[in-house]
Amino acid sequence: MTLCTCSKAGSTTVAADPIRTRPDNFELRSIDLEPVVAETPLPALRPWLTPTPLFYIRNHFEVPELEVDDWSLTIEGAVDTPVKLDYSSLVRLPKKTLPAMLECAGNNRSDLSPKVPGNPFQDGAVSNAIWGGAPLKPFLQQAGLSPNAVEVLFEGGDEGAPVPGGKTVKYQRSLPLQVALHPDTLLVYEMNGETLTPDHGYPVRLIVPRWYGMASVKWLTSIRVLEAPFVGFFQTDRYVIEDDAGIEQQLAQMQVKSFVSWPEHETSLPVGQPIAASGMAWSGTGPIRRVDVSIDGGETWQDAHMDESSLGYSWQEWHIDWTPEE
């Protein structure tokens, strides 16, 4: 019988294995070059950990040129005492290591009918990594939050015109105060046990577990505590969706979702030979407890086998034993 292609999550030591973090037999599927947008190839989504060179990339503008010696992060706005943090001070703090997956809000856009504008992602605008950094909460507490604070605004070092002919803006996104204060909202400087790469936010980025990737602002340079909701371009003009009543809602936590990583589309399978069909499932509101799979168009369902060792905010591996009959 063909064994499941799932990889056991085990522990965060998987990031120390160069075979998992630096493979040489796949490459990202390019969507755009200016700025760089690329998705993870499906074969690289079979393991629990997504190798850094194959982690999907969604940039809004060109990658800024930032160096650790010149980098600093300010926390200001509705606070008692503004805080300024440099890179050396950040990395000297106790490091928190956190497995977490990210998904672009436009993942699977190419499947929509009728077609909609935007990057034509297939299945690959989603990946899982192990992040290392420091919780944001102590720095906000150090600054002293105003009792009227409602949101925290994060600004990246990247900038450009988000629409042709439009004015130049920085990439900015805000979070509700309670999300910014969550102990697992991190200021990250490591990815899969290595220093962040430029496309993934070097030198420091935000990681917001269970939220769509646009919330995890890259190339962080400024944090501002707000006493009113933020209404910037990437908050209110983009990353919004109409609900059933036609009212626009800002995208936030990831929805329940899953995909099949094996067999791939158009794979030829021998009739009568058992295989293990496998994939991943995730949710922005909690861990996945059960996956049901149908091989007959939804007439019958069976419980999938799940790896119980999934960690942190990573996705849930699943597989079913299946013998194709036709």
**Residue closest to 176 by CA, chosen among 285, 95, 250:** 250
**Is residue 46 within 8 Å of 278, Cβ to Cβ?**
yes
Both tokens of residue 254?
Answer: 């990831």
Is-contact 291 256, C-beta < 8 A? no
Burial label, 156 (beta-carbon count in 10 A; 0-12, 13-18, 19+): buried
Residue 212 to residue 198: CA distance in whole angstroms: 20
Q: Residue 270, Cβ neighbours under 10 Å: how many?
A: 8
The pLDDT-based confidence of 243 (bands split at 50, 70, 90) is confident
Judge whether residue 23 has pLDDT over 60. Answer: no
pLDDT at 67 over 60: yes
Whether the per-residue pLDDT at 208 is higher than 70: the answer is yes
Q: pLDDT band for position 24 (50/70/90)? A: low
Residue 249 has pLDDT above 50, yes or no: yes
Instruction: Give the mean pLDDT of the chain.
Output: 90
Pairing of strands 57-58, 72-77: unpaired
C-alpha–C-alpha distance, residues 41 and 30, integer Å: 10
For the stretch 213-227, pLDDT in tens is: 999 999 999 999 999
pLDDT of residue 242: 83
- Whether 9 has a pLDDT exceeding 80, the answer reads no
Q: Mind listing the pLDDT tens digit for each residue in 167-191?
A: 999 999 999 999 999 999 999 999 9
Residue 87 has pLDDT above 50, yes or no: yes
Q: What is the pLDDT at residue 310? A: 65
Q: Report pLDDT digits (tens) over 287-307.
A: 999 999 999 999 999 999 998
At residue 19, the 3 state secondary structure works out as helix
Banded model confidence at residue 120, pLDDT cuts 50, 70, 90: very high
